[in-house]
Structure 1
Amino acid sequence: MKLALHWQILIALALAAVMGSYTGTDMTIGGITWLAIYGFIGTLFLNALKMIVVPLVMSAIITGIANIGQQGGFGRLGLKTLSYYVATSFIAIMIGLTLVNWIQPGVSDQPPPQIEVNQQVSAAVEGKSAGDVVEVFLRMIPTNIVNAAAEGQMLGLIFFSLLFGFFMTKISGAGRETLLGFWQGVFDVMMLITAWIMKFAPIGVFGLVAASVAKTGFDQFENLALFFMTVVLALLVHFAVVMPLILRYVGGVKNPWLHYQAMAPALLTAFSTSSSSSTLPVSMNFLENRAGVSNRVTSFVLPLGATVNMDGTALYECVAAIFIAQLFGVPLDFGTQLLIVIIALTTSIGVAGIPSASLVAISIILVAVGLPAEAIGLLLVVDRLLDMMRTTVNIFSDSVGAVVIAKSEGETDVLTRKEF
């Protein structure tokens, strides 16, 4: 029986901790240091992730927007749905941003994981000011899309992809079908390549974590525990405070607790599977049969939400990027943090439906703001449980959106039962 990927990664993490602490930075084999071997393995894995970012993000966004347009999703119902998704994702990111800046889980008396990388990072970020906010918006419209792709300017690529996908739906005939078929084919191929790369994730994780442990020992684990608590607290605030407030004051639901009861089986499914796609049929069933939302709303809002509405993922991306900056002692000014917010919001939409979406999205953010992508290896120590939690938040936000939109459409049977 083949072990599930998450168990393979956990085993790789344990082996990396043992090997990294045992070999340190000086032990050699055949004249080559173990640290160099770890670095080689980790770099190969990171390069593979970086390789797929541009075609994956572009094809995901273009096909997603085009498919919404083909279904007539830019009408009243589509506008309400997308507005809700953007608003709640933004709120989730701001909760994460506030807590990570307040708690500062990456700040400690310990030296940064890699001093030499830290110097490079400081040089890359140094000198930025609030005036760079203007630069952020200028970068949204690249002068050369090919050059933007080559330089990894994801904000410009995302903006171009959104425009391309939208206006692709405005042409008719064979041209539209050809373009949609091409980008859908690119997306399908990139999904297969991503799945293939993730088969090597345990090996890549081993290299990244072993290198980190070899250099720093276990000094950073205290920071990781605080990072874990920060993310959990932020997710809890969004799940248990923001969502019921939206149900009560936007959706007009007198007793928001009823919705938690109605969706409990779907939430448990999401937590156990860590998959929005796998939970989708369960969510639709309980949303219709227990919460009383019509099939018309459910069949539109939930599949779209499983693709583009990832509140927990967006929150996690933002907290993770700023945590890594704190860990390396790099101050992030308002302009840089705004850039992180924008990219976290757009990448949570653009790459949310792919396996290990957060891993790819965080690498995009780190590269965009000049932080070392190698630090992703540290996050993987606590990522599995956090993935289960943020998937639960993603699913619940989708269901709350369906309730709010159903109520706005005049449906009267939503959450009318007193108990479940």
Structure 2
Amino acid sequence: MKLHHQIFLAMVLGGVAGAFTSESTALVGVPLLSVYDLLGDLFINALKMVVVPLITTAIISGMINVGDGDNLGRLGAKTVAFYLTTSLIAVLVGLVVVNVISPGIIDGQPARDLLGLSADTEQTLQSIEGRGAADFTQILRQMLPPNLFQAAAETQMLGLIVFSLFFGFFLRTLPGAPGEHLRQTIEGIYQVILRITMVIIRFAPVGVFGLIAVTVSRTGLDAVEPLALFFVTVLLALGLHMFVVMPLLIRGLAKRSPWRHLQAMTPALLTAFSSASSAATLPLSMECVEKRSGVSNRTASFVLPLGATVNMDGTALYECVAAIFIAQAYGLDLSLTTQFLIVITALLTSIGVASIPAASLVAITVILGVIGLPAEAIGLILVTDRLLDMCRTAVNIWGDSVCAVLLARSEGEEDVLRGPMRELNVERD
């Protein structure tokens, strides 16, 4: 059975198992929830174990293989421009959808009372005193961490990416035997990490089963009901961006079939949905883009690790929709200036947000502080956050992969989305 079929089957079985499992359900005295937790945690931990060495060696290897300085500058500029453009489009899609549906307005009135919000926001505003635009300086500080090992331990990938870019850039220019030996060593480490990654990926169906079973058993689908309109609004906006905007870019700019790329990325998208972590899905994303979509290692190893940290289309969209929904629920004025501020803040915070589950909640808190909304209102969206986190992570991964395809085509790669899709095996060819 193909890997993506195994993962899909594991999701279905996990949902069924979770639906019939409660906190008290046990097997030979062992709670089933703890077993599900263990399976999911082992899989996610194994993937996260290889994230740091994979990202650093992939970026350095990509910098080495990208060619001369002109090629590097051109590819880098294209990557940054694409990521900023698609993230902005995602935020604007979310802005339009949330204004059209207005999930925070029920029967022409703010949903404050229905959702149990306090009418007095003065006390809650005190809790976010001091938060605001100054929080962006913390993102800038992460770009140059004083301790790389601490940054790696705390999953501050922005600093590691900046260091890897510098290291790879200057390694390219190191002449003689020392430079050649070091370049070969980095490439060797990169290949070893990829082989380890593929062994871990073979166990993806087992991990996905545990992750889905735990989510369904603990939250179920009833958790969505109190905020159904907000939930539908986010899903609609994410769907428009993923299945309309991005396919149009593939068809219009890359001159390739979006459906063909969607098939190629299925294993990575299912893993992203179940794990809700862009970082944990990165190893599989790289394999799918290279092996199944036909993008060269030169392009994929440069674009995808960078995108896993700075390109968060789904997250940026979600932050915008969540902030406006909360403002609508409180009955606060949403002038064009306020909405523009939400758009810019969501775009900037999505760049620095960590690529791990629920990290966007921190960014939403910053947005609420910037526009003067009570931070406690973030509790409104917590009940649906896990399910929506899974959806927006899949959109994040999809956006990274589309960027890789478009950049590969712009660099003249003709094999993109044209050759046969190869299956993901333990051993790399």
TM-score, normalized by length of structure 2? 0.61
**AA in 2 matched with 1:394:** N
Whether the 8 Å CA contact 2:365–2:378 is kept in 1: the answer is: yes
Q: Are 2:142 and 1:182 equivalent residues in the alignment?
A: no
1:95 aligns with 2:97: no
Q: Name the residue aligned to 2:31.
A: none
Matched residue, 1:307:
309
Question: Per-residue deviation at 1:395?
Answer: 0.4
> Where in structure 2 are there 5+ consecutive unaligned residues?
1-17, 24-55, 67-71, 157-221, 423-429
Cα drift, residue 185 of structure 1: 6.2
- Provide Cα deviations, 1:205-255, integer angstroms capped at 9, x if missing partner: xxxxxxxxxxxxx9x9866110000000000000110011010112222x2
Cross-structure match for 2:418: 416
CA distance in 2, matches of 1:262, 1:323: 35
Helix, strand or coil for the counterpart of 2:120? helix
Shift in Å, 1:339:
0.8
**1:183-202 matched pairs, under 5 angstroms:** 184=148, 187=151
Gaps of 5+ in 1: 1-9, 16-63, 125-148, 167-179, 193-217
Q: Secondary structure at the match of 2:414?
A: coil
Shift of the 285–161 alpha-carbon distance from structure 1 to 2, 3 Å rule, reads closer
AA aligned to 1:83 is A
Instruction: In structure 1, give the amino acid aligned to 2:385.
Output: D
Letter in 2 for 1:82: V
Native 8 Å contact 2:292 2:420 kept in 1: no
Cα distance in 1 for partners of 2:142, 2:354 equals 17
CA distance in 2, matches of 1:190, 1:270: 21
SS at match of 2:92: helix
> How do 1:30-69 and structure 2 match up within 5 A?
none
Partner of 2:290: helix, strand, or coil?
Answer: helix
CA positional deviation for 1:387: 0.7
What is the CA RMSD across the aligned residues, in angstroms?
3.4
Cα pair 1:258 1:415 within 8 Å, conserved: yes
Q: Which residue of 2 aligns with 1:340?
A: 342
Q: Indicate if the aligned counterparts of 2:268 and 2:285 stay in contact, CA closer than 8 A.
A: yes
Q: 2:235 aligns with which of 228, 232, 237?
A: 232
Which consecutive aligned stretches of 4+ in structure 1 deviate over 6 angstroms post-superposition? 220-223
Is the Cα contact below 8 Å between 1:106 and 1:223 reproduced in 2? Answer: no
Residues 1:158 and 2:136 are matched in the alignment = yes
- Cα distance 1:153–1:184, how it changes in 2: closer, same or farther (>3 A)? farther
Amino acid corresponding to residue 79 of structure 1 in structure 2: A
Partner residue of 1:262 out of 261, 264, 275: 264
For residue 181 of structure 1, report the CA deviation from its aligned partner.
4.7
Letter in 1 for 2:317: L
Q: Deviations over 1:89-123 (max 9, x none)?
A: 000000000010110001124544334434678x9
Letter of the 1:236 counterpart:
G
> In structure 1, the residue corresponding to 2:351 is in which secondary structure?
helix
Partner-residue secondary structure (3-state), 1:292:
coil
Which residue number corresponds to residue 394 of structure 2? Answer: 392
Give the Cα separation in 1 of the matches to 2:150 and 2:323: 28
CA offsets 1:302-339 (integer angstroms, 9 cap, x no match): 10010010100000000000000011111211111111
The two structures have a TM-score, normalised by structure 1, of 0.62
- Does the 8 Å contact 1:118/1:329 carry over to 2? no
Q: What's the secondary structure of 1:250's corresponding residue?
A: helix
Quickly say closer, same or farther: Cα 1:319–1:278, change in 2 above 3 A.
Answer: same
Structure 1's 280 and 324: CA in aligned 2 closer, same or farther, altered over 3 A? same
- Count of aligned residue pairs for this structure pair: 291
Match of 1:292 in 2: 294
Q: Which residue of 2 aligns with 1:104?
A: 102
Using a 3 Å threshold, how does the CA distance of structure 1 residues 157 and 237 change in structure 2: closer, same or farther?
same
CA distance in 2, matches of 1:117, 1:183: 44
Which stretch has the larger CA shift, 348-357 or 106-115?
A: 106-115
* 1:379 partner amino acid: I
Distance 1:394 1:111, change over 3 A: closer
| CA distance in 1 between partners of 2:100 and 2:413 (Å) | 41
CA contact (8 A) 1:107 1:223 kept: no
Match of 1:283 among 285, 292, 295: 285
CA distance in 1, matches of 2:420, 2:149: 48
Given candidates 76, 80, 83, the residue that maps to 1:82 is 80
